[in-house]
Amino acid sequence: MDSLTQIVNFEITTACNLGALHKLCPNAHPARFASLPHDTPMSDELIVASAVALYREYGFRGLVGWHYYCEPLMDAKRMFRLMLAIRRAAPAAQFLLWSNGTLLDRYKATSAIGLFSVAVITNYGHHAPGLYSSLPWLREQIPVVEVVPAKLDGRLDFAPCGYARPCLRMYLEADFDFFGNLHLCCYDWRGLGSPGNLNTTPLADLIERWIGIREGLGTVPYFGTESSAARVPDSCRWCGARFLGNATGHVPGFVCEIAQSARERVAELGGLEIGNPPAIFAPFKQTDKAAPERNALDGMLPGP
């Protein structure tokens, strides 16, 4: 959640229109919030204030997203409202739409869709033929649009491992779930390594804890090393997701400039010989799109 973080997600709903179909997704899993506070959703005011502070006070220069394990277009009106408020207060803010794409056509006439800098549309392979090829209108409004095949993995129950491999996933993402719990990554969907909750913990404290865990995880080796091991949650020690190639063994490249800065920081810490691994998707360059003028935002009204 600093200058080395590429994406910060504020989950805006717990709903997903494909949740009942995807039994391997944590979206509706009973263990998802079992060990976490789940009585107070993040308010709009809290999300806006936190996102603006990230850009203004903590050096964040990445993308704000809305998904984590929901389908953000299930509450598109709230999403657009938040984006407009954040952009007005922090003109440098940039946004990411990560969606299954099935609800996109509802928002063709919504000018606020142009606030997104990047859209990633996941194709799970069981929708109407041609759905994902009929998006030229979206490409006209958003500079970077990626349609990617999506395959549900074994994250509900990864086999534990004791392999002392550093994890650099936290240089990619920071995820606040709907109730404000901060997750280390998408594989930490139970929140077993959570540094705290945004509703009850100051953002500055969460960021300090976040950076400590991230740098502990990026140290070689962190198993049995007193200085780094003390900062690594037990759930990260046995996490089987560390075998997933460039998602964890390297700094994933999503926002080019930030990923490169993160790789340099890992090298300073004595981390992996990171080189320049392939990007997850076509990498987003922050110069691809200038922020709209502030006075132009008044005409961007949320969709239905």
How is residue 276 annotated by DSSP? Answer: -
The domain 7-282 having CATH identifier 3.20.20.70: the answer here is yes
Map out the domains of the chain as residue ranges.
7-282
pLDDT tens-place values along the chain, 304 residues long: 899 999 999 999 999 998 878 888 999 899 999 999 999 999 999 999 999 999 999 999 999 999 999 999 999 999 999 999 999 999 999 999 999 998 998 998 889 999 999 999 988 776 656 666 778 899 999 999 988 887 777 788 776 665 566 788 899 999 999 999 999 999 999 999 999 999 999 999 999 999 999 988 877 555 445 555 567 888 887 787 765 544 456 787 889 899 889 888 888 877 654 555 555 555 577 655 544 554 455 555 544 4
CA atoms of 255 and 61, how far apart (whole Å): 9
The CA distance from 172 to 231, in Å, is: 19
pLDDT at 22: 81
pTM above 0.85, yes or no: yes
Q: Are 261 and 3 in contact (CB under 8 A)?
A: yes
Return the residue matching tokens 């549900």. 152
Residues 6+ apart with CB under 8 A from 45: none
Instruction: Return the pLDDT at 233.
Output: 86
Place of tokens 């922050």: 286
Q: Among 197, 174, 207, which Cα is nearest to 68's?
A: 174
Non-local (6+) Cβ contacts of 249 within 8 A are 165, 166, 168, 242, 272
Identify the CA nearest to 117 among candidates 257, 291, 236.
Answer: 291
Of the candidates 248, 294, 298, 291, the one whose C-alpha atom is nearest the C-alpha of residue 61 is 291
pLDDT at 87: 97
